[in-house]
Amino acid sequence: MRHKKIEKLLSDNIDGELSEKKKKALETHLRNCASCSSYAENIQRIHKEAKSLEKLEASPVRWEEFTSRIKAEIFSAKQEKLRGITLFLRWKWAWAGAALSFVIVAGLFLYLTQNKTPQEPYVFSFESSLARIYQEIGSDQELEELFNSVICASIGETFEDSGWGERPDFYENLILWEDLTEEEMRFLESEIKKDNKL
Amino acid sequence: MADFADDHLVRLAKQGDVDAFTELVRRFQEKIYHTILALTRNQQDAYDLAQETFMHAYKSLRNFKQRSTFYTWIYRIAVNLTLNFLKKRKSEEKREIHVEDCSLDLKSAASTLSPEGHSITKELSEKLKEAIDSLPLTYKVSFVLVVSQGLTHTQAANVLCCSENTISWRMHKARKMLQQRLRPYLEGE
């Protein structure tokens, strides 16, 4: 057997953890190996010294005191726990009220946030925009005329820029929308969208 | 109470019987204290940690499922608390043990020796304390549990939550380290 393995077996042997078979093999090796025998003596001595080293005496009075202190601490811990429970019970209505308020607030919050109808996404509509403008203008004829002239000027400029040519009758006709073709209406809508970055 | 088995006392203590728990304290206080003392080398620290161990055990009693013995369980608490304490203290200077009288056994054994033999034994025991203290913590704990407290490898493995092979290996390594550090004193006699 190798010496390193023997050293491990020697340690197990001191602790009484070695089988009879291994013990015999160990003894055989030790009879023929001086260095392992020396190592065995050394660790045996260390073991003995270490065992005696720890036998420190403490007086019996001290142990009684120790036990009493533990008992006192246990009672103190119990009292502390009881005090906590009493305090909780004394404030039970306050705790219950706080819990109820929390439940009500949380319930309301959930109800209000979940029942909100989802907003429809905004879609540009030329007709509805115009209808809203006329609604705003209402029966104010002066304002209506002013609006129409501004729109006519704007449309005229658009036509000039696009090379569609001038439409002289355009400015004279107040009900201009009825004169526009479907294609012209689409073009106008796309231009307005472009200007307003929609 | 004194006749009751540990398991029965544990059951009573779990039901709130303080006297049953006090009896358990009485049974294990010295062993726990000496284990901690062997690790800390300071009586006051050992005393405080032993108290902390029992208070911790009392507060955790409900969680103790009794899969292991109370003895193993309380040892495990003591060792864990002490290891945490030692890790915290690692940076601090090593304190001297404040024991008024040295081991009675050592005294009686040394009294039969010559003055020269007396000083050699005393020197060896002092050096041995230092050497044990300088061991890595896991080796030190294993060594103290097996050598000082007389635990078997199986019991020590249960306390330290490791295998018996690990304990066997740690014991071998610890002894080898101690032998290397104490060789001059061992050969000097």
- What is residue A175's three-state secondary structure? coil
Q: What is the dihedral of CA B31, B57, B84, B134, to 10 degrees?
A: 10
Domain boundary among A30, A53, A76: A53
The nearest CA of chain A is from the CA of B88 a distance in Å of 23
The yes/no answer on whether domain B103-189 falls in CATH 3.40.640.10 is no
Query: In 3D, which of B125, B105, B138 has the Cα closest to residue B39?
Result: B138
Most confident range, picked from A80-89, A140-149, B59-68, B169-178: B169-178
Q: Quote the CA–CA distance of B113 and A174 in Å, as a whole number.
A: 133
Nearest to A187 by CA among A169, A168, A161: A161
The share of chain B scoring above pLDDT 90, in percent, equals 56
Handedness of CA A95, A96, A97, A102 (dihedral sign): positive
Higher pLDDT, A145 or A120: A145
The token duo for A193 is 């969208």
Task: Encode pLDDT of B15-43 as tens digits.
Answer: 989 999 999 999 999 899 989 988 988 88
Between CA B44 and CA A174 the distance in angstroms is 106
Q: pLDDT tens-digit profile of B44-91?
A: 899 999 999 999 999 999 889 888 899 999 999 999 999 999 988 876
pLDDT value at residue B159: 92
Distance of CA A175 to the CA centre of its chain: 61
Q: Per the domain annotation, does A37 fall within a domain? A: yes
| CB proximity A70 to B under 8 Å | yes
Return the residue of A nearest to B47 by Cα.
A66
CA dist A41 and B124 (Å) reads 15
d(CA A85, CA A95): 13
Q: How far apart are CA B102 and CA B98, in angstroms?
A: 10
As a whole number of angstroms, the distance between CA B25 and CA B51 comes to 9
Q: Supply φ then ψ for residue B188, to 5 degrees.
A: -75, -20
- Count of positions (residues) in chain B: 189
Which residue type does B166 have?
A: T
Distance CA A122, CA B119 (A): 100
pLDDT value for B106: 40
pLDDT score recorded for residue B88: 86
Q: Which of these ranges, A28-42, A127-141, B53-67, has the smallest mean pLDDT?
A: A127-141
- Residue at B88: amino acid letter: K
Please tell me the predicted confidence (pLDDT) of residue A169.
56
For B179, the closest of A12, A39, A51 (CB atoms) is A39
Structure tokens at A8: 């491990």
B157 lies within 8 A of chain A by CB: no
B1 CA: distance to closest CA in chain A (Å):
15
- pLDDT at residue B111, rounded to an integer: 40
Place of tokens 């088995």: B5
For chain A, how many structural domains are there in total?
2
Which pLDDT band, with edges at 50, 70 and 90, does B104 fall under?
very low
Q: Say which residues have a Cβ less than 8 Å from residue A188's Cβ, sequence separation at least 6.
A: A126, A155, A158, A180
Selected from 1.10.3720.10, 3.40.228.10, 1.10.10.10, 1.10.1740.10, the CATH number assigned to the domain covering B1-91 reads 1.10.1740.10
The residue range of the domain holding A29 is: 3-53
Give residue B178's pLDDT band: very low, low, confident or very high (50, 70, 90). very high
Compute, in degrees rounded to 10, the torsion defined by CA atoms B94, B77, B173, B154. Answer: 160
Closest chain B residue by Cα to residue A69? B51
pLDDT of residue A125: 66
| Final residue belonging to a domain, choices A53, A69, A91 | A53
Query: Which amino acid belongs to residue A73?
Result: E
Taking an 8 Å cut-off on Cβ atoms, the answer to whether A17 and B132 are in contact is no
> What is residue A102's predicted lDDT score, i.e. its pLDDT?
93
Q: Identify whether A179 is part of a domain.
A: yes
CA distance B85 to B47: 13
> Rounded CA gap, A164 and A191, in Å?
14
**Who's near B27: CB < 8 A, 6+ residues apart?**
B6
DSSP label of A120:
P
Distance (Å, whole) CA B123 – CA A171: 122
Nearest-Cα residue of chain A relative to residue B24: A67
Q: Specify whether the backbone of B21 is left (phi greater than 0), alpha (psi in -120 to 50) or beta.
A: alpha
> What is the value of pTM for the model shown?
0.62
Nearest Cα residue to A162 out of A136, A189, A188: A188
pLDDT at A184 over 80: no
User: What's the rounded mean pLDDT across residues A50-59?
Assistant: 66
ipTM over the 0.85 cut-off: no
Query: Residue A15 falls within a domain, yes or no?
Result: yes
In chain A, what percentage of residues exceed pLDDT 90? 24
Tell me if A95 sits within 8 A of A88, measured CB to CB.
Answer: yes
Residue B58 in contact with residue B79, Cβ under 8 Å?
Answer: no
Asked if B103 is an interface residue toward chain A (Cβ–Cβ < 8 A), one would say yes
Looking at residue A191, what is its pLDDT? 80
Quote the mean pLDDT of chain A.
79
Task: Note whether B55 and A70 are within 8 A (CB).
Answer: yes
Tell me, what's the pLDDT at A94? 85
Which are the contacts of A50, defined by CB distance < 8 A and separation ≥ 6? B128, B132, B143, B147, B148
Q: Among A53, A73, A89, which residue terminates a domain?
A: A53
Would you list the domain boundaries of chain B? 1-91, 103-189
State which amino acid sits at residue B159: V
Per-residue pLDDT tens for A55-69? 654 555 478 888 888
- Which chain B residues are within 8 Å of A66, Cβ to Cβ? 25, 29, 33, 47, 50-51
CA angle centred on A18, ends A15 and A20, rounded to 5°: 135
